[in-house]
Amino acid sequence: MTEASIRTAVPADLDALVALLGELFAIEADFRPDPKRQRRGLALLLEDRLRRAVFVAEVPGGVVGMVTGQLVVSTSEGAAAVWVEDMVVAEGARRAGLGRRLLQAIEKWGTARGATRLQLLADRENLHALRFYEARGWSGTRLVCLRRGGV
């Protein structure tokens, strides 16, 4: 898929991004798709260009992949860290290197803003995604995720 490009998302991408998140949240047991909420969330991300990033993978047929990143401060690092979320490539466009390129884009974005760590949450049963991250130098931690509220 040599014609694919990775670029920053714009509001005109919202429909495609909501559809991609529908694909992602249908896989992850902790979430359920809700297009209105996803649209609202994406709009919030797009509003803050300084601390938030949305990258898309685009082929001539349209947007087929995305990833988002949000800067937080890590006291452990004494520096910024990036929460990486919403990593998904449409099923028909997988295994062509787009996931790798999206991850590189968010890493470069974070590093340029002083982040010394990237972090994400993954479904423990999503073995393909876990292998994908491990192959790119990510490692698991002993932390568990807790939450209060939300769906």
Ligand X SMILES: CC(C)(COP(=O)(O)OP(=O)(O)OC[C@H]1O[C@@H](n2cnc3c(N)ncnc32)[C@H](O)[C@@H]1OP(=O)(O)O)[C@@H](O)C(=O)NCCC(=O)NCCS
Cβ proximity of 109 and 102 under 8 Å: no
CB 120 → ligand X: shortest distance, Å? Answer: 6
Binding mask 51-90 for ligand X (x = CB under 6 A): ------------------------------------xxx-
Of the candidates 69, 67, 63, the residue with the CA atom closest to the CA atom of residue 19: 63
Taking the CA atoms of 135, 147, 76 and 79 in sequence, report the sign of the dihedral they define.
Answer: positive
Beta carbon nearer to ligand X, 94 or 113: 94
Supply the minimum distance, in Å, between the C-beta of residue 126 and ligand X. Answer: 5
Nearest CA to 119 out of 74, 89, 62, 150 is that of: 74
Q: Is position 126 an interface residue for ligand X (rule: CB under 6 A)?
A: yes
SS3 13: helix
Q: Which of 10, 27, 79, 127 binds ligand X (CB under 6 A)?
A: 27
Q: Measure CA 74 to chain center.
A: 19
* By the rule CB under 6 A, 95 interacts with ligand X: yes
The footprint of ligand X (CB under 6 A) covers 24, 27, 87-89, 94-100, 122, 126, 128-129, 131-132, 135
